[in-house]
Amino acid sequence: MAPKPFSLSVKVVVRDASGRVLALRRSATSRANSGKWEFPGGKVDAGEAFDAALVREVREETGLEVELDHVLGAAESDLPARRVAYLLLGASSASGQVRLSDEHDEFRWLAASELGALDFCPQFRELARSLSGSGVRVG
């Protein structure tokens, strides 16, 4: 039996100038995890540099110009027909002025310590909890 395909998704934990972190709520019309919270980012298109692709994805989903800084961790999602490997990076945004696409219907800027209280997509719960723990560096 052939293994399930594995795809890659890169998510970005964006901080504003005061260190708050941006969480996005998936629209009610999302195919999976509608109403759950996540971070901006997504599939990195073929034929585009990794960092430029990520900055573009975040801009399209949030209107923010971000500067990538550090690798924060990894996660995985095992779906019926495929698996997704997630790489999570930190980034900073000078403006903090969010303009959502139709992929999301709400956003919140939160202290890292508040992230654990949101109902995140299952694959991001561990990261949200670890970011909200004391002493964890988000940036």
Q: By the criterion CB under 8 A, which residues form the site for a second copy? A: 3, 5-8, 10, 44, 46-51, 54, 67-76, 85-89
Both structure tokens of 101 = 């696409």
- Of 44 and 110, nearer to a second copy (C-beta) is 44
Distance of CA 13 to the CA centre of its chain: 6
Nearest approach, Cβ of 54 to a second copy (angstroms)? 8
In angstroms, give the least distance from the CB of 10 to a second copy: 8
Q: 47 has which bridge partners?
A: none
The residue (of 69 and 105) whose beta carbon lies closer to a second copy is: 69
> What's the CA gap between 11 and 4, in Å, rounded?
22
- Closest to a second copy by CB, 5 or 122: 5
CB of 42 to a second copy, least distance (A): 13
Closest CA to 63 of 104, 111, 110: 104
Minimum gap (Å) between residue 58 Cβ and a second copy: 13
Residue 91 to residue 13: CA distance in whole angstroms: 6
Instruction: Check if the beta carbon of residue 40 is closer than 8 Å to that of residue 56.
Output: no
Q: For residues 29 and 47, which CB has a smaller minimum distance to a second copy in the complex?
A: 47
